[in-house]
Amino acid sequence: MAALRNLALAIFTIAFLTFVVLFGRLPALRNTPIAFLHRAIWHRLPNAGHRLDQRLTGGRLSNAFAGLGNYLMHKKHPLVLFFYLGLLTACTTLFLHETYPRLSTRQLVPLLVLVPLPYLFAYHCAYHPPTAYGSYITPSNHSARMRDYPYDHILFRPGQLCRTCGLVKPARSKHCSICNVCVAKCDHHCIWVNNCLGRSNYKHFLLMLLSTGVAEYYGAYLAFVLLRPYLHLPASPSPASVFSRDTASRFLAMIVSATEAGGLSIAGVGLLAFYTAPLPLGLLAYHVYLIWAGMTTNESAKWADWREDMHDGVVFKARRSVALAADQDGARVWARGTAYEGNRPRPPTQANMHSPLRPQP
C-alpha cells in the first residue's frame, strides 16, 4: 500500500514539475506560484548549486551542466523529440501487449485512430514543407509573406530589417536564433518537435496536443475498465461513508489489488496517462485562448512586456495628430488614428489611437 501511494505521488510530482519547467514562462502565468517555482528551478537552484560547486570543484560541474542545458534548450537537436516519441511508443507497446487479448472489438477500434495521430501530427510539425508553403521566410517567398498581414505600427513596423537574414521583416514574423531563420507568423520554437511553430505547422501542433491528450485519457479509461473488477466499487455509497477512515482504507486496499492484477503495463501506464494528459490539454486550452485573442505566444509576451513597462512608468503614450504609414503594398493607410484597409474603414482602437514612445521590443 505504501509503495503504491509513493508511486502515485511520484507520478503526480513528475507531471506537475514537468508542467512548471516547460510552461512556467507563459505570460498568462506571470506573478503566480507556478512562475515562482519556474524561476526557482531554472535560476535560484542552479545559482545556489553553482556557488556550492565553485567551492568544491572550482565550477567544473556547473559549467558542464550549463553546457548541457544550453544544448538541450537553445540548440537545434532531435533529442527531446526522440524522447517524446520513444516514451509514447514504449507506453503504447507495454499497454497493448497486455490488454489486446482482453479488449473487445469496440474498444480496440478507436485505438486504430488514436494511436497513429500523435505521430502523424508530430511529423507535420517537424517537417519543412516546400518554400512556397512553409513557415520559413526566404528570398523566394518574401514578397508573398509581406502580403500576409498588415503592420500594426506598435509591435511590428514597416521597414525593419532582419540583421541576420538581410530581409525586411514581415508583420508578425520573428527571427529564430535556434533555427537561424525568420519565421512567418512565429508562435514559438518548440523543442518537442525540434522546429519553429508558425504559419504552416501551427495547426498541426494544436492537433498534436489534442490527439495526445485524448489518447492518454482513452488509455487511462481502458486501464480503469480492465481493473474495475478488482476494485469492487459500491453501487451507491452514502455521502457520510465516502469520507470515513474505513472507506479510505478499503479504497487503498482495492487500488493495491488492482495494481497487483494490472502490473506496470496496465496500472502503471494508466496512472501515467491519467496524470500527464492535463499537460497537452492545458497547453491546448492556452493556445485556444491565444487564438480567441488574435495573438501568438510571441506577441503575447511582447504585450506583457508593454504592460509591465507601462505599470512601471517607463513607457508613455502620445496621441497621434496625423500619422501616415503604409506597408510595402500600400494596402493600409493610417490617418488621424483611423486605419483603412483598401476602402474599408476600421474603427479606431487604443492600439491605433496611441503610439508608445519606445523602440520596438
Q: What residues act catalytically?
A: 190
Q: What are the phi and psi torsion angles at 329 (to 5°)?
A: -95, -5
Helix (H, G, I), strand (E, B) or coil at 144: helix
Residue 196 host element (H or E): strand 195-197
Q: How far is CA 291 from CA 117, 187, 212, 213, in A?
A: 22, 11, 20, 19
Q: Is 247 exposed, middle or buried (0-12, 13-18, 19+ CB in 10 A)?
A: middle
How far, rounded to the nearest angstrom, does the alpha carbon of residue 26 sit from its chain's CA centroid?
9
| Three-state secondary structure call for residue 334 | strand
In Å, what is the CA distance from 151 to each residue of 89, 146, 157, 160, 325?
44, 10, 6, 11, 9
Contact by Cβ (8 Å): 162, 175: yes
- Which positions ≥6 away from 28 have C-beta within 8 Å? 286, 289, 300
Distance CA 139, CA 159 (A): 16
Taking a C-beta distance cutoff of 8 angstroms, is the pair 62, 54 a contact?
yes
3-state secondary structure at position 61: helix
